Structure 1
């Protein structure tokens, strides 16, 4: 097993901009993101920092704006690779796939934002590419949504996506559990679709 920590879109937009993360709160998730980065650095796990770019006139992630900037707590920490992206998945239109191949990576640990969007897109694509994926549920998060299809709280979105991820796409765990797994050189275990459904029928 060779891990890489993928730090997705930890940008000011989610803290002080128009897309504030609500659940888990950033007071919890940001310290866990930086803990994971520090532990990865100490363990020799490469860290990939990702920044989302939008056009300068965009209401969110406008390139060059303060909201677009990577949060200072992430920016001040070392990384092995830096990626700018314009799509939800970190794979799309970037060199992540080639970087993974070049570095012999077989396991991606996902932290950052948002659980249901860029994290989800990256998790699904990584899984389809045959990579193992880990998702740190207390180092990621969501805002609430409302549109013509319905309304969902940040807690609902984060919880439901985390549950779906753990059914086979990714091993979902706390930062503490991941740190212990790193110390022990072990992989985190994911569940499967069959058992995830069967437990609801009892």
Structure 2
């Protein structure tokens, strides 16, 4: 029997991505509904403050659309970063035109130079740019964390059906935790950062097994 002690896991090298926290989602035509936008803004601010205190680089992301666009038009009030994030210290601002923050930007190279292995995602929207960025991160060999109360969704209805903002946010959170990201509250993340620890992660097999256990017994 070996008497050697096991080597503790290295602490995650995190970067906090604050995605598209722009006025369009707060006071504009795409107001975040669930979680309530002012609640999520408080949690986003909490995450930024905790990241800065811990020396975790904060990346602000801004969605750009042409000046003729009805939403996020460059130079418009809706396009501007919300004051609650713009006023806080950050390492980098990235402009994007596609859902994933990695698409057509220098983010991947910047993360590599910073030796980041884990991205923490906050901001909007849960089911669109957040999810796209998280899936892209997995394919690039990065770990991801998703702050479920520092994000948010809108209700949708189209020819495929309809879903409330709460349903969309909840389902995407469940799916992301099954494979793509560690999903947690902002406070749980702050505690993990303080401990230098990873957040617990789910997987497809365990997620499916737990769902089957919760099914009502059919007589």
Whether TM-score is above 0.5 comes out as yes
Task: Give the SS at the match of 2:26.
Answer: helix
Question: Equivalent of 1:201, from 206, 212, 218?
Answer: 212
**CA shift for structure 1 position 130:** 1.2
Q: Which residue of 1 aligns with 2:80?
A: 69
Task: Give the SS at the match of 1:16.
Answer: coil
Query: Using the alignment, how far apart are the partners of 1:145 and 1:19 within structure 2?
Result: 11
- Report the RMSD for the aligned CA atoms in angstroms: 0.6
**CA shift for structure 1 position 190:** 1.1
Task: Give the SS at the match of 1:84.
Answer: strand
Q: What are the superposed Cα offsets for residues 23-49 of structure 1, whole Å, 9 maximum, x if unpaired?
A: 000121001000100010010000000
Trace 1:163-174 onto structure 2 (pairs within 5 A).
Answer: 163-174=174-185
Q: What are the superposed Cα offsets for residues 3-24 of structure 1, whole Å, 9 maximum, x if unpaired?
A: 0000000000001111110000
Q: Which residue of 1 aligns with 2:139?
A: 128
Trace 1:117-196 onto structure 2 (pairs within 5 A).
Answer: 117-196=128-207
Query: Using the alignment, how far apart are the partners of 1:200 and 1:110 within structure 2?
Result: 26
Moved over 2 A (4+): none
Trace 1:10-89 onto structure 2 (pairs within 5 A).
Answer: 10-89=21-100
| Runs of at least 5 residues in structure 1 that lack an aligned partner in the other structure | none
The normalised TM-score by structure 2 is 0.91
**CA shift for structure 1 position 201:** 1.8
Aligned length: 202
Q: Which residue of 2 aligns with 1:113?
A: 124
Q: What are the superposed Cα offsets for residues 65-90 of structure 1, whole Å, 9 maximum, x if unpaired?
A: 00000001100111111100000000
Query: Using the alignment, how far apart are the partners of 1:17 and 1:201 within structure 2?
Result: 41
